[in-house]
Structure formats: C-alpha cells, structure tokens
Amino acid sequence: MFSGKVVLITGAAGGIGIAAAKAFAKEGAKLALVDLSKEALEKAANTMDAGDVLLLTANVANEDEVKRYVEETMNHYGQIDVFINNAGINGKFANLVDQSAENFQAVMNVNVNGVFFGLKHVLKTMMKQKSGVIVNTASNGGLLGAPGMGPYIASKHAVIGLNKTAALEAAEYGIRVNAVAPSGVDTAMMKSIETNAMPGKEQEAREMFESTVPMKRYATPEEIADLMVFLSSDKASFITGSYYRIDGGQGTGSA
C-alpha cells in the first residue's frame, strides 16, 4: 500500500509512534523517525522489520530543529508522502487554580508549537510536491474537558483547530490533513497519567479511567496506528479536515 512512499513520524520512540512505524513498514514504507533520544529511537527501530529507516533526533518545540528534521528527511529521501505529527506530552495534574505557568507552557510548547512547526515546514515541502497526507495526533481531550488536565486539554483543542485550518489551506495542493482523537491508550504516557492522577495507586487510576469507557478498556497502540494507516491511504482519498474519535464510545453524546 505504501511501497516507495516516505513516512515521517514524530514521537516515534513512544507507544503510538512505534506502532505506527511498524504498521507503515509492514505496508512497504520508507521511514523517517523523529524523537528526542537517539538511543530510544535505535531501540524502537530494532523492534520493527523495516527496509529503510532514517533516525532523527529533534525537539519538536524548537522550530530550528523541526526545520532540520524536515530538511534531513528530504536530503535523504527526496520526498515526504505521509507525516504523522504525533509527538506530545501530558504534563502535571493540578486544578487550574493550582497550575503553574511553567507546566502550562511546557505542555503548549510540545503539543501546540510542535504540531504547528511540523505543519508549517512539512506543508511547505508537500505544497511543492502537490501531494501528501498529514495525520495529527489529537485526543478525545480535544473535544471534552477533564479536571486536573487543563494544559493538556487546551493543547489538544488547539491541535484540532490547527488540523482544520491546515486542511483548508492545503486542499488545493492535493494534500489531505486529518487527526486521530484517542481516549486512553495502553502506553507509557498513559501510565504517567495514572501516576499523576493517583500517585502510588496506579492500578486504581487505571480501573477508574477504564470505567469511563463503554468498552471498559484502553485502546492498544496498534488500533490507533491502523486508523493512521487508513487515513493516510488512498482508501481515504476524499477525507480531509476531519478528526476521528477512537475512544471505545467514551465521547458518545458529548461534543
């Protein structure tokens, strides 16, 4: 399905990033994987059966580093066909009246600035190609509220807004832009959220979070990756500007 195509993935050493890389590699894609740690990227790459993999370290909150990972991908492959704009953090839990400006800004720097910089520089390349697909990782938190998670919730609402705007600006160039909006996913990030929510009582936190999902479980990273692959494929050729809940029914009847 993606033979000869180049797929660029940020947050590629995390749970969803690894699953996405494996899923695209299985379909024949060439990969450019971006994360903060070269060691973590190498460890992730060793778990996948991929023919051509470029490993790139970058902080997505730094525009110069984003510009560099795009340029290095283009220098190596000569094209970017799919961009999985996936890097994100959850930040620290606290009610708004107790949130620090430092935590709020840290979350915004990665989750909003990182997505914006990625869109800005990848779209420039795709517009020259007059082709490409972008999938942004949002969250059902971009559609709902959650006590104690104000910075994260605000950041994911912003991702959905950027997603809609990018789709409108890119459509005339033959570029599609969509977002996935998962609920809890069984990854290290979700374990961090459990610890933030109920320190020392992570299993109770997991049971509490899962109880809010009609299907009574977290998603697997592979389930999110499968949706990303579909949205990036020709089977989704008339889909753009949309966001897709993948939340076990959690958002049903809400926003």
Closest CA to 187 of 215, 135, 223: 223
Positions in the chain whose pLDDT score sits under 50: 254-255
Across the beta sheet with 6-10, the strand order is 53-57, 30-35, 6-10, 82-85, 132-137, 175-182, 243-246
Tell me if 3 sits within 8 A of 27, measured CB to CB: yes
The domains of the chain, with CATH numbers, are: 6-183+222-245 (3.40.50.720), 185-218 (no CATH)
Tell me if 213 sits within 8 A of 249, measured CB to CB: yes
Report the C-alpha gap between 125 and 135 in whole angstroms. Answer: 16
How far is Cα of residue 97 from the mean position of the Cα atoms in its chain?
Answer: 28
**pTM for the full model?**
0.93
Closest CA to 193 of 158, 152, 162: 152
What pLDDT score was predicted for residue 189? 84
Helix, strand or coil, per DSSP, at residue 239: coil
Report the C-alpha gap between 241 and 219 in whole angstroms. Answer: 23
What pLDDT score was predicted for residue 253? 55
Report the C-alpha gap between 232 and 29 in whole angstroms. Answer: 12
Find the helix or strand (DSSP H, E) in which 7 lies: strand 6-10
Q: Which residues are catalytic?
A: 152
Report the C-alpha gap between 83 and 232 in whole angstroms. Answer: 9
Tell me if 42 sits within 8 A of 53, measured CB to CB: no
Closest CA to 53 of 61, 62, 44, 65: 44
What pLDDT score was predicted for residue 153? 96
Tell me if 221 sits within 8 A of 19, measured CB to CB: yes
- How does strand 82-85 pair with strand 243-246? unpaired
Q: Within 13 Å of residue 177, how many CA atoms lie on the same side as its CB?
A: 29
What pLDDT score was predicted for residue 64? 98
What pLDDT score was predicted for residue 130? 98
End-to-end alpha-carbon separation of the chain, Å?
Answer: 34
